[in-house]
């Protein structure tokens, strides 16, 4: 039962990370149209790093 719950959580986290990645890419692409998103992308990167313990992306791509 515990293993099942852990697997479900891992699946949910994986889906969540994929959605954050899509949002991050969208925000970066909007930068090209003149809409700033540096702070939000940085917040996403920080949140993902906090969840995974690994750096995620780089905000330098939109500076």
Q: Is the pLDDT of residue 62 over 50?
A: no
Q: Quote the pLDDT of residue 11.
A: 92
Sign of the torsion formed by the C-alpha atoms of 8, 44, 31 and 58: negative
Overall pTM > 0.85: no
> For 17-43, what is each residue's pLDDT tens digit?
999 999 988 888 876 666 667 888 888
Q: By three-state DSSP, how is residue 54 classified?
A: coil
Residue spans of the domains in the chain: they are 1-52
- Residue of 56, 54, 46, 49 whose CA lies nearest to 21: 56
Cα separation, 40 vs 44, whole angstroms: 6
Q: Quote the pLDDT of residue 61.
A: 46
């Amino acid at each position: 039962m515990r293993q099942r719950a852990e697997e479900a959580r891992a699946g949910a986290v994986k889906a969540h990370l994929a959605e954050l990645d899509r949002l991050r890419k969208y925000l970066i692409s909007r930068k090209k149209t003149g809409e700033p998103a540096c702070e939000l992308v940085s917040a996403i990167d920080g949140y993902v790093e906090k969840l995974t313990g690994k750096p995620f992306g780089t905000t330098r791509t939109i500076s």
